[in-house]
Amino acid sequence: MRLITVAGPPSSGKTSVIIKAAEALRGEGVTVGVIKFDCLSTGDQVLYERRGIAAKTGLSGNLCPDHFFVSNIQECLQWGEQSGFDLLISESAGLCNRCAPHIKDVCAVCVIDNLSGVETPRKIGPMLKMADIVVVTKGDIVSQAEREVFAYRVRQVNPGAVIINVNGLTGQGGYELGRLLSAAEETVSLTGRLLRFTMPAALCSYCLGQRKIGSDYQMGNVRKMDFS
């Protein structure tokens, strides 16, 4: 089975893109399963199942979503193997623009949309910078000039990635993305594999449930802004 990690800012079109690619792959006889990672609630499992794509949901609740992802991905892989998928896609939102679920030697996709503005590629961390494939969406509603500037800015921060435009509504590009995904490497086990980048340093008093504001209540890994 091939595992693909898909990440991207909220509402960038991840689910639509995955659905279009999965439908194109189904036409080629490839079965796809999806694990949707989210924080509070998601209706995406229903969206997938309505289109005949097997899906499972993992809600991180009050845990850091990316830590939750890493703690569960090996079990997800087992579920995918047992279900007999050819391709298992994990979908997660990059909520702090800092983390990435991308794993070394596992095909990593970042979905990012033209509407988010040309400064956005610079603001997104390893989720974009360390992706193998960058899918750019919502190209149909912005001007050609903005599409070109946006693609250039993406290439600036990730010169090595394959950049592909996919229209989540019409499906244009979905077939081509499917071809790229089905050429990914097989993943047998994740135990011992490495994340492409460290999760952010945490462990301050607020991680442990502190709610009061003020220096007296701040312990552990605390960093102060420089106002000088």
Partner 1 sequence: METDRDTPPYSAMPSEELLRKHPYAEDFFTSLGLALPPPGESVGAYFGRITADTLEDLGVERHELGERFDAFMALLASLQEKRTGPAIDSITIQGGVDKSGAAEGFALTVAPGEVVSIVGPTGSGKSRFLADIEWMAQGDTPTKRRVLINGAVPDPSRRFSLEYKLVAQLSQNMNFVMDLSVEEFIAMHAESRMVNDVAGITRTIIAKANELAGEQFSSQTPVTALSGGQSRALMIADTSCLSTSPIVLIDEIENAGIDRKRAVRTLVDERKIVLMATHDPILALMGDRRLVFKNGGVRAVIATTPAERANMAAFEEMDARLTAVRNALRNGEQIDHI
Residues that bind partner 1 (CB under 8 A): 27, 98, 100, 114-115, 117-118, 121-122, 125-126, 129-130, 139-146, 148-149, 151-153, 155-160, 162-164, 170, 172-173, 175-176, 179, 197-198, 201
**Considering beta carbons, is residue 71 or 143 the nearer one to partner 1?**
143
| Minimum separation from the CB atom of position 80 to partner 1 (A) | 26
- Give me the sign of the Cα torsion angle 93, 178, 196, 3: positive
Distance CA 79, CA 33 (A): 9
Nearer to partner 1 by C-beta: 77 or 161? 161
Beta-bridge partners for 201: none
CA distance 59 to 69: 9
To partner 1, the closest distance from the beta carbon of 156 in angstroms equals 5
Residue 56 or 129 with smaller CB distance to partner 1: 129
Q: Which is closer to partner 1, CB of 3 or CB of 130?
A: 130
